[in-house]
Structure formats: structure tokens, C-alpha cells
Amino acid sequence: MSKGEYELKQVKVRLCLKEAEPLYSDQPITDSQKAVEVMAKVMAELDREYCAVICCTDAQKRVLSFETISIGDLSQTQIPIQNLFKSAILQNAGSLIALHNHPSGSLTPSQADLAVTKRMVEAGRLIGIPVTDHIIVAGGTGLHTSIRSTNPELFSFVAEQSPKFIAEEKSKKRVSVKKQIAEKKAVIAGKDRVDKSKDVGRNI
């Protein structure tokens, strides 16, 4: 086969992040909770549903940036899962928080909200960038609620990755192994006592 008869094309990806207009606060944005509070004030004034993400560096939730992922209509917005993680990957983020607003002012997550949250968490699990929460912001008031608080079962995998959880599970396993060893020793010791008593009976 001569060179060049068949080819497999190679591509080079050259994506880059460009800074956009920032949000400002009169308080230091020291962690993700502060960033949520800043964004909630802005999202409360929006007339359509927006979805955004806050990218964080690590488990301490030091904030890197935020990005608007999608813009919908009065009652819904599509959240492309692949776009959710794009800026997080480019920034080497360690975790992210998703937010979207309800212009109606409702803080109750819809079934669609819960379904997409589950998909987010599962995707984060596969990619290695945990989605640590999904925040709903009420239009008009700026009040916000955490889906992780109302539906913690959707984030069970994220909780299982926390250093505290892992340490506790290792401790439980060590205790369980020790208990099993102790039980086996007790069974063996019991058999030995029975065997010895039989030997004594025969000798008598």
C-alpha cells in the first residue's frame, strides 16, 4: 500500500478562555457560597431562565470563575451536559456548582430540574469533576435553595468522595476486619477446647 492512499486525519484543539464582564461585590468572594450570593442577586433580575456554573479549584471551594451555560425562556432552559464542564476542564477545576433561576419566583425544583441534576452528578463522576450542588434562584427576591439540601440522594456519590467519608469508611473496614479475625479466633479456640475435652474423655 503506497503512502497516502488512506489517511486518518489528525486534529489539534486550540480552545482558550477569554475573560468577560465580571460581577462585583462589596464583600470578598472567599468561597463558593459567597459567589452564589453574588450571582443570586443578578439572576433574580433576569426575565428568562439562565443556567450558569461556578468553577472551583478543589474541595475547599476556592472560586475560579463563573460562566453562563444556556439561556432559555420564561419557564425552562436546556442544559447541555457537555457544555457544563467545558470551562471547568479548561481551567483544571476540581469541582463545580450549577445554578439556574426561576423567573416565576418558585424555589421548588421541578422533576426536570431533578433529572438534569442527576445527569450532572453522574457526568461529573465520570469526568472526575464533582458537581457539588445545584442552586435554584427565585426571580424577584434573590432567595435561593440547594437541591443538595432538598434531595441529598442525588449527590450520594459526591458525598462518598469526601475525605471525611473515605476516612470513616476505612475506619469501619478496619473495625470490621478486626471483628472478623476475633470471631474466627474465638471459633478456633472453641474447637480446640472441644477437642481437648474429647481427648481427656478418651484418656479417662
Strands (E), the chain: 50-56, 63-71, 95-102, 131-138, 144-146
pLDDT at 106 over 90: yes
What pLDDT does residue 8 have? 58
Mean pLDDT across 129-150: 93
The model's pLDDT over 149-204, given as tens digits with 9 standing for 90+, comes to 999 999 886 555 555 555 655 665 566 666 677 777 777 776 666 566 655 555 55
Q: How does the average pLDDT of the chain come out, rounded?
A: 79
Mean pLDDT across 53-57: 87
Mean pLDDT across 119-124: 93
What pLDDT does residue 124 have? 93
What pLDDT does residue 185 have? 74
Count of other CB atoms within 10 angstroms of residue 204: 5
Residue 33: which pLDDT band, with cuts at 50, 70 and 90? confident
What pLDDT does residue 199 have? 58
CA dist., res. 33 & res. 62, Å (int): 10
